[in-house]
Amino acid sequence: MRTRKAALAGVLCAGLSLALTACGGTAEDPDAGTNGVGKLEAAKIQDKARGAARDASSVHLSGSVVSQGRTYKLDMRLKRDGGTGRVASDASTFELLRVGDELYLKAPAAFWSRGDKGDGAAAAGKLEKKYVKVPTADPAYQQLKGFTDKDVLLDGLIALHGKLARGEHGTVGGDRTIRVNGAGGSGGTLDVSLTGTPYPLRVQRAGGAGQLELSEWGKDFALTAPAKPDVVDYGKRIPSGEGASLPGPSK
């Protein structure tokens, strides 16, 4: 009888070894079947994610960024040579399109009028359905371009602060991930894909300065300049009163 009980216990342990560590088995390896970055040191995981982001031809970025007390909601598709999408804040909402060095801004009449009445409001109404070309010499150009510059934007967003530590395994959008924490999480967190290329999939910025999700890595999309009849070109500088104080991420 004792022999039969021992044999039965052995069969149960063998059958449940993946779930019952008390039977002498080992816990399932969370990195089994992954790209292996989950076993690296935290700094190396961040480096892998940054390198993958730089090498990618495109990305879809969505979420919020807090800069100098203002929250921007971003929904941008970015490529090496430009980008397109929407930027919204409590003060304004506008669309951006950049093809190479050509940068265009599209916004509702309220954005252009800034409380103007009469002729100013009428002029703003005419711009509502137009793409206004932002001159490279205009002070707003570099600020607005930053929203559409894949490498510049991602390098700044992926940066964590403080001592880095490897965090928990998890999932983002159904993809298995490994988390990297900066300063115990107060310096930001970065979730990196454990499937295929180690792309960054989610960023929580230090100090509660926003959260962004990164998806559709390497997925191509159309990026073409608007038709000439849809463009307003002021030349070297947007006239005062019509965009001289265009918002940007550093304002």
Tokens (6 digits) for 118: 């009469």
pLDDT in single tens digits along all 251 residues of the chain: 545 545 444 444 444 344 434 444 556 888 899 999 999 999 999 999 999 999 999 999 999 988 888 898 999 999 999 999 999 988 889 999 999 999 999 988 887 776 555 555 666 677 878 999 999 988 889 989 999 999 988 988 888 999 999 999 999 999 999 999 999 999 999 999 999 999 999 999 998 899 999 999 999 999 999 999 999 987 766 654 444 344 444 33
65 and 149 belong to one structural domain: yes
50 and 165 belong to one structural domain: yes
Tokens (6 digits) for 143: 């600020």
Tokens (6 digits) for 22: 């008390």
49 and 91 belong to one structural domain: no
**Helix-strand-coil split of the chain, %, nearest 5:** 30, 30, 40
Whether 131 contacts 230, CB under 8 Å = yes
Q: What are phi and psi of 77, to 5 degrees?
A: -115, 125
168 and 47 belong to one structural domain: yes
The residue behind tokens 């932002």 is 134
115 and 148 belong to one structural domain: yes
Does residue 26 form part of some domain? no
Does residue 251 form part of some domain? no
Stated pTM of the model: 0.80
136 and 185 belong to one structural domain: no
